[in-house]
Every structure is written in C-alpha cells, then in structure tokens.
Amino acid sequence: MTMNSLAILWVKSSHSTDNGGTCVEWAPSNVTATGIVPVRDSKRPTGPVLMFSADAFAGLVRLARSSAL
C-alpha cells in the first residue's frame, strides 16, 4: 500500500523538535477512516511510510512509554 502524503493530514509527534530531534509524524485522521496508522520520518516526507494496525500502534506506544526499553 502506498500513501500519498498530500492526501492525508500528517501530525508531528509532541516529542519531535525542529532542530534535528526525533521527527516522527503520524496521520490520526487516517486511523479514524481506515484503522491503519501511517507513520513517517518528517525529515523525509516523500520517504517510506510504516503502516500499523491501530492495535499494533497502541502496543508500540505502550512499549515506548514503558521502562522495558
């Protein structure tokens, strides 16, 4: 599946910075419409997009917030 970056609204993570920090974007409106969470590197908007099910993305967020990393 390919994502047209102009067709969806990308939102930058609240942990991203404008000075080269962790720059992750996701498209919450796409989740509502399809149940799929697209994620990309905001520094490479035409680069690859990772696609997660809503459940898999929630698990990834839980893992990132845990002390297990």
- This prediction has a pTM of 0.72
Q: Is 45 within a domain? A: yes
Identify residue 49 by its one-letter amino acid code: V
- Which residues span the domain enclosing 38? 11-65
Q: Is 40 within a domain? A: yes
Report the number of distinct structural domains present in the chain.
Answer: 1
Q: Is 6 within a domain? A: no
Which tens digits make up the pLDDT trace of 8-60? 889 887 665 666 566 889 998 888 889 999 999 988 889 999 999 999 999 98
Q: Is 27 within a domain? A: yes
CA angle 6, 54, 38 (to 5 degrees): 25
Higher pLDDT residue, 1 or 52? 52
